[in-house]
Amino acid sequence: MTAHSHDIQIPKPLLFGLGLLVTSVTGFVGISSLTGIGVADLSNEVAQERIQVRFLDEANGGVGAYDPQTEEAIHVFGPGEGGFVRTALRSLSMDRQQKGVGPTPPFELQLSATNNVVLFDPTTGKSITLTAFGDANQNDFAQLFNAHPTREMP
């Protein structure tokens, strides 16, 4: 039989270092929250372009983006494409379900002068700033501006 010890000793410098790390991170987050340093506030950005888009599930497993006025396809993300599009829409769709709103009302995509793209749901008032998720994910939505037949400039 082997000896087994429950008396594990963690070196005190390691515990001190971990404590210092946690304290430092908590302090930096607190300072950032109080002063606004390091926080990007995109809520006051004015949209330079807006488009209305209705997203629908396709029979083949893709997601289609449609012009709500003409019902023409703007872009179809095929199966295995547009994973971030599905995730962003799923997030906003949960809010719609809670409020009893179906998929019929269109979403609004907004593009600012600084190229920030926002997905806004006028039925719930919720929005997602897509810039925060990286260029590739933002570009999945940004490409809809070029393909949309009825772009709206405020």
What is the pTM (predicted TM-score) of this model?
0.66
Which residues are within 8 A (CB) of 132 and not within 5 positions of it... i.e. 6 or more apart?
40
Which residues are within 8 A (CB) of 86 and not within 5 positions of it... i.e. 6 or more apart?
63, 77
Question: What confidence tier does 106 reach under pLDDT thresholds 50, 70, 90?
Answer: very high
27-33 mean pLDDT: 83
Distance CA 109, CA 153 (A): 12
Question: What confidence tier does 149 reach under pLDDT thresholds 50, 70, 90?
Answer: low
Distance CA 91, CA 141 (A): 15
Question: What confidence tier does 40 reach under pLDDT thresholds 50, 70, 90?
Answer: low
Q: Helix, strand, coil shares of the chain as percentages rounded to 5?
A: 35, 25, 40
